[in-house]
């Protein structure tokens, strides 16, 4: 059982999804409409719609549709928070020293530099933890690539005295975010069973 924080606030990414990275097993798709742009994607059956990592629950987007985001400015739910946690991955190699910026309502910002491991090869970068391990990924022709693939969780500490406004993601097609969750100050923990 994994302890997770309660009272967390999911960030709705639906309006900014711009990459289709998850497909149902057996689905066929154009290689260009895949997570890495080369014809590989994550399995919707393995990933589901919720995953936990870094002490929070992440809401995952739908399969067979845009469900990951890159290079966008994301509007955050207004409020004061201790931290922002994201579910993300690099493709086509490790994506090192990526810049994430949280802007506050008063116009100030906090900038975070984070390296993202490639989805096939965890590097255990500082601030990175494996959130999801999957025994295969799917290919554009509907078959499976039977190796382990991963999604990673990252946590960025925020100024809890300020109201958040937006999150700017790296301008890099190969650094992809699947979900984000905000943690209010003093969120209590509870026990969570295995992800559904």
**Token pair in block for residue 119:** 């989805």
* pLDDT in the model for residue 5: 79
Torsions phi, psi of 190, nearest 5?
-145, 170
Burial of 164 (0-12, 13-18, 19+ CB in 10 A): buried
Residue 190's pLDDT band (boundaries 50, 70, 90)?
A: low
Taking residues 109-115, report their average pLDDT.
97
- Where exactly are the structural domains of the chain? 10-185
Residue 54's pLDDT band (boundaries 50, 70, 90)?
A: confident
Taking residues 153-179, report their average pLDDT.
97
Report the alpha-carbon distance of residue 52 to residue 132 in Å, rounded: 8
Closest to 13 measured CA to CA, from 181, 135, 186, 185: 181
Report the alpha-carbon distance of residue 86 to residue 61 in Å, rounded: 13
| Neighbour tally for 192: CB within 10 Å | 17
What is the average pLDDT value for the chain, to the nearest integer?
92
Please tell me whether residue 110 adopts helix, strand or coil conformation: strand
**pLDDT per position as a tens digit, 87-105:** 999 999 999 999 999 999 9
The owner of tokens 């924080």 is 5
| Neighbour tally for 179: CB within 10 Å | 27
Is the pLDDT confidence value at 191 over 90? no
Residue 59's pLDDT band (boundaries 50, 70, 90)?
A: very high
pTM over cut 0.75: yes
In percent, how much of the chain has pLDDT > 70? Answer: 93
* pLDDT in the model for residue 187: 65
Q: How many CA atoms lie within 13 A of 84 on its CB side?
A: 31
């Amino acid at each position: 059982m994994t302890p997770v924080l309660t009272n967390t606030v999911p960030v709705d990414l639906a309006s900014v999804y711009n990459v289709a990275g998850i497909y149902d097993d057996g689905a066929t798709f154009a290689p260009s409409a895949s997570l890495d742009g080369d014809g590989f994607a994550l399995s919707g059956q393995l990933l589901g719609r919720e995953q936990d990592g870094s002490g929070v629950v992440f809401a995952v987007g739908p399969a067979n549709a845009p469900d990951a985001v890159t290079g966008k400015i994301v509007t955050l739910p207004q409020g004061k928070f201790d931290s922002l946690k994201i579910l993300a991955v690099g493709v086509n190699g490790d994506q090192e020293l990526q810049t994430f910026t949280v802007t506050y309502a008063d116009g100030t910002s906090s900038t975070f530099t984070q390296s993202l491991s490639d989805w096939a090869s965890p590097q255990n970068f500082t601030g990175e933890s494996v959130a999801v391990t999957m025994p295969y990924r799917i290919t554009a022709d509907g078959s499976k690539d039977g190796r382990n693939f991963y999604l990673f969780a990252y946590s960025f500490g925020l100024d809890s005295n300020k109201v958040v406004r937006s999150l700017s993601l790296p301008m890099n097609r190969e650094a992809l975010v699947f979900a984000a969750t905000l943690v209010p100050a003093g969120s209590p923990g509870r026990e969570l069973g295995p992800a559904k």
